[in-house]
Amino acid sequence: MRRPMVAGNWKMHGSKATNQALLAEVERSVRPDWPIDVVVFPPYVYLADAVRELEEGRILVGAQDVCAESGGAFTGQVGAAMLKDVGCTYVIVGHSERRRWYHEDDTLVARKFAAAMAGGLKPVLCVGETLEEREAKQTESVVARQVEAVINMLGVGGFADAVLAYEPVWAIGTGRTATPEQAQAVHAFLRSRIGAHDAKIAGHLRILYGGSVKAGNAAELLAMPDVDGGLVGGASLSADEFRQICAAASAVRH
């Protein structure tokens, strides 16, 4: 059985005051007996505050990005060991916004994945196709390529302590969600692809769905057998929406 995970990607939103209020509300409303992992991903400058705010440790903190280098003369960058040092547990790599706006290719994403692991963080690898790729029936070849880039660099063992997130680019921040069946088909494909390398790792791997998840659609998406949680953008900025998504995840049994 895989423990569901709900991850809130705050992107470049918030301030000290709004974050504090949001975290307090999330911590108050996510029940300690819910059998799920909950992780929030605030912007870099607020990570240490978030770790302090969430000192009970029930809700974990992750970063939205990491440098592929371990340290040195890389102005403006933040390394995995630094993120670990301030109390992060997870880091997102390969988010489509970084692939698109910062031109991160599969090799750089794989290097970031490796750097995260080397620094003691658990990577959350995002994969997903654009609308054009879906319409051209390239969804499977795109997500396979994105996953294989990591396997080629690190072996399938890289996924032993990582999380995979399927995030169709056309569903991120658009209000347009994959249907539960569309999500399940890609999740099952990803699991079988990793299973071709190592069935045990594939069986334990959590594959999150991301793309306009909200309170109103979480239950049906999370009920799918290969959907092990959600990576939530916009809706994670509302404590009430986020709580309802966490509640839906905690009700899932598969």
Report which residue's Cβ sits closest to ligand PEP.
Answer: 233
**Of 27, 104, 167, 241, which residue is the catalytic one?**
167
Q: Which is nearer to ligand PEP, 6 or 205 (CB)?
A: 6
CA dist list (Å): 65 to 78, 80, 116, 126, 214: 8, 9, 9, 11, 23
Shortest distance in whole angstroms from residue 155 CB to ligand PEP: 26
Closer CB to ligand PEP, 212 or 244, in the complex: 212
- Give the binding site for ligand PEP (CB under 6 A): 9, 11, 167, 172-173, 210-213, 231-235
Distance of alpha carbon 89 from alpha carbon 80, whole angstroms: 10
User: 95 catalytic, yes or no?
Assistant: yes
Name 246's Cβ contacts closer than 8 Å, sequence gap at least 6. 6, 30, 34, 36, 38
Q: Which CB atom, from 40 or from 172, has the smaller least distance to ligand PEP?
A: 172
- Residue 175 CB-half CA count within 13 A: 0
Q: Which of 95, 97, 104, 133 is catalytic?
A: 95
Q: Minimum CB separation from ligand PEP for residue 211, in Å?
A: 5
Q: Tokens 């991850």 belong to which residue?
A: 7
Distances (CA, A) of 35 to 29, 72, 101, 230, 252: 14, 40, 36, 14, 9
Query: Least distance (Å) from ligand PEP to the CB of residue 199?
Result: 28
Which tokens belong to 31?
Answer: 């029940």
Rounded to a whole number of angstroms, the minimum distance from the CB of residue 175 to ligand PEP is 8
Select 124 or 201, whichever has its Cβ closest to ligand PEP.
Answer: 124
Q: Which residues are catalytic?
A: 95, 167
